[in-house]
Chains A and B, each alone.
Chain A
Amino acid sequence: MADMELTGAEIVVRCLEAEGVKHVFGYPGGAVLNIYDEIYKQEAFLHVLVRHEQAAVHAADAYARSTGQVGVALVTSGPGATNAVTGIATAYADSIPMVVITGQVPTAAIGMDAFQEVDTIGITRPCVKHNFLVKDVRDLAVTIKKAFYIAATGRPGPVVVDIPKDVTQNRCAFVYPETVTMRSYNPTHKGHPGQIKRAAQMLLEAQRPMLYVGGGAVLGNATNEVQALARHLGFPVASTLMGLGAFPEPDPQNLGMLGMHGTYEANMAMQHCDVLLAIGARFDDRVIGNPKHFAKEARRIIHIDVDPSSISKRVRVDVPIVGQVDQVLGDILKQVQHLGTAPDSVAQKAWWTQIELWRAQDCLKFDRSSPIIKPQAVVDALYRVTGGEAFVTSDVGQHQMWAAQYYKFNQPRRWINSGGLGTMGFGLPAAMGVQFAHPDATVACITGEGSIQMNIQELSTCKEHKLPIKVILLNNGVLGMVRQWQEFFYEERYAESYVTSLPDFTMLAEAYGHVGMKIERPEDVEGALKEAFALKDRFVFMNFITDPRENVYPMIPAGKGLSEMILI
């Protein structure tokens, strides 16, 4: 029956509806006008009009990070797609499930250097989990189904679906497949039983054990399993930047963050442990520093990851286990309980004594009596004022590290930052995505005066949707992390790292219809935060004037080893 046939544009909308999508972040343009016309007619989801395509993708990404659901962005062909690329690469680097629909010029115009034509498939290929060009409307529904399936399963990641304009116009019968199977894509769920047994035995034999928790534990919803195993064994836990919140940070069993700006106790324990259980982590350069230095100390490594290519990539492991981290950890705990023995208590006690000595270094101390606002003090106050319950997004640089060090996350999916790609401009649009996903939650964006200006146009989107985000700008007037490296490694030649001609951020916020605040004295920090967070229905832009000379400590210089930290 011809009248039962739908246009490609209708099919796109119906597919998103069938996937249970509630928010689409996007920006219209010629190639996607048919799709926008159908969006206009529907009520299944809210379309959020951003002010730049990069922000749409970051918002969809953060929506996914904070909920675990697939984020969705929609942009037009050509510049719409190229503007989206930074957002796609950001999501790819952190394994975020996302579907990005891009418009494309009509199939007959492809390859003709048409207006607003780029090879979106070619440009995005290295920074997506997979991408599709849909040339026939009859393939559209099944392709979108596959896109959601691929994005969300296995090691998650962004999937691009490129749809030429004529495909959105053409008609065919619409059936949305219930399930999809692909002979070339079958992610592993269960870990190998023999390896799980070996892992359990190794953990029970450990003298100086350590749990190393990465972003995969958060993405794989394995935080209950991480906590159950850690508590059962009583082993120390440390997280990567992406794993923060997988284990409650205020807990004494938690040693804090690992890596370049991780805590002394976490890095020393990582270097000196004899059995290391890596959970959804990838031993990257910002975590273990120099792999040769790391390998100097003998240790046995168990590595759980859903992606086989993450295992034995930078560091050789003894017990690789491919599978979903939650399932594998659950199986290891069962095996540990089944074996019934306990770790050597004398060795454990000695290990914890050593760890407490490292912890006594108090590596995150800072000058609390400074006459200039210390950025650490702002994050510390934010933690207290929000009771540790806020969603915190950040941009990239010193403020990101201070946020990670001083905000003690109790829960997973509360800390939203661009860890892998390190994308400045992520924080504000990410806060939007989180606030849409959790309308009643407290959302703070910790940022710097460099980063915030990379997507500042989104103040307008926030106004349109009355998003009560609180921006915590740690304004030191310098590109702080660049400046820090120049101080340490370039003999204080501060090339282009001072930011002059900054706007009056209070007036800027007010120009967009928001509340602006400028805080210059340390004694005003906490009061100002309380005042801002009391404005529950307003977007507040808080400009904290902070010490421009403050550095992030501890620090492992690039190429150095974990025990070669610079302490304050």
Chain B
Amino acid sequence: MENEAGALSRVAGLFSSRGYNIESLTVAPTEDATLSRMTIVTRGSDDVIEQINKQLNKLIDIVKVQDLTEGGHIERELMLVKVRAVGEGREEMRRMADIFRGSIIDVTDKSYTIELTGDGKKLTAFLEALDPAAILETVRTGTSGIARGERVLKL
């Protein structure tokens, strides 16, 4: 989409006014500073997804729409989790982070902050593997996606 003020609210407004749901939405400028790229995760029947596609294309600021699920694709999301890490739990928490290929990026006497990347399911699985009482805070970026192989989204 054009990197214009208000472009994000046009997309968000479209989803809310037509009753489509947004599971996650990420957006940032691309290597071409006049363009931003947005990844939206949404759910719906084929008819609804077709309408979402068409309605997005209709927005003047949108340059191109691609449904990544039509082909092989990769999804990644970043999560930061602050966990309680005291006593025996401290070592256990380090092992859990290792198992999920997370890295501990901040440490205090009582806590770790773990950075974890993966698709949404992996991040959720990590949270489910922890003792709920140990989770102090989480923040997730929402999914970014790209097609597998040589397929590229180009203008």
Contact = CB atoms under 8 A, between A and B. Distances in A.
A309 B17 contact: no
B60 A133 contact: no
B61 A309 contact: no
B60 A125 contact: no
Interface string B1-18: 110011001100100010
Given A121-B6, A125-B10, A313-B51, 16 more contacts: A125-B6, A125-B9, A125-B13, A126-B17, A130-B60, A133-B6, A182-B60, A183-B155, A184-B2, A185-B60, A307-B58, A308-B57, A309-B51, A309-B54, A309-B55, A312-B50
A184 B63 contact: yes
A129 interface: yes
B47 interface: yes
B62 interface: yes
B6 A309 contact: no
Interface in A101-154: 121-122, 125-126, 129-130, 133, 150
Contacts of A126: 13, 17
Most buried by B among A183, A307, A309: A309
A187 to B, nearest CB: 10
A184 B54 contact: no
Nearest 9 pairs of A and B residues by beta carbon: A309-B54, A130-B60, A184-B63, A308-B54, A126-B17, A185-B60, A309-B55, A309-B58, A125-B13
A125 B1 CA distance: 17
Contacts of A133: 5-6
B47 A312 contact: yes
A126 B18 CA distance: 10
Nearest to B2: A184
Contacts of B10: 125
Contacts of A312: 47, 50
Q: How large is the interface on A (under 10, 10 to 19, 20 to 34, 35 or more residues)?
A: 10 to 19
A122 B2 contact: no
Contacts of A130: 60
Interface in B33-71: 47, 50-51, 54-55, 57-58, 60-63
A183 B63 contact: yes
B50 to A, nearest CB: 7
Nearest to A146: B60
A308 B55 CA distance: 9
Interface in A134-185: 150, 182-185
Contact of B60 (A121, A122, A150): A150
Contacts of B2: 184
Contact of B1 (A121, A182, A184, A307): A184
A184 B58 contact: no
Most buried by A among B2, B51, B54: B54
A195 to B, nearest CB: 16
A182 B50 CA distance: 24
6 contacts: A121-B6, A125-B9, A184-B1, A308-B54, A309-B54, A313-B51
Contacts of A185: 60
Contacts of A308: 54, 57-58
A126 B9 CA distance: 10
A307 B58 CA distance: 8
A122 to B, nearest CB: 7
A308 B58 CA distance: 8
B64 to A, nearest CB: 8
A129 B61 CA distance: 11
B67 to A, nearest CB: 14
A427 B36 CA distance: 44
Nearest to A316: B47
Interface string A517-553: 0000000000000000000000000000000000000
A184 B55 contact: no
Contacts of B47: 312
A184 B61 contact: yes
A263 B99 CA distance: 71
B13 to A, nearest CB: 6
Contacts of B5: 133
Contacts of A183: 63, 155
A539 B132 CA distance: 77
A122 B16 CA distance: 14
Contacts of A129: 60
A309 B54 CA distance: 5
Interface string A171-213: 0000000000011110000000000000000000000000000
A376 B54 CA distance: 42
Nearest to B64: A184
Nearest to A135: B5
Nearest to A150: B60
B70 to A, nearest CB: 17
A409 B62 CA distance: 40
A121 B6 CA distance: 9
Interface string B100-142: 0000000000000000000000000000000000000000000
B8 to A, nearest CB: 12
A307 B63 CA distance: 16
B9 A122 contact: yes
A184 B59 CA distance: 9
A307 B59 CA distance: 12
Contacts of A121: 6
Interface string A256-295: 0000000000000000000000000000000000000000
Contacts of A150: 60
A52 B89 CA distance: 71
A184 B50 contact: no
Contacts of B55: 309
Contacts of B58: 307-309
A312 B60 CA distance: 21
B27 to A, nearest CB: 15
B60 A184 contact: yes
A63 B47 CA distance: 37
B9 to A, nearest CB: 7
A279 to B, nearest CB: 19
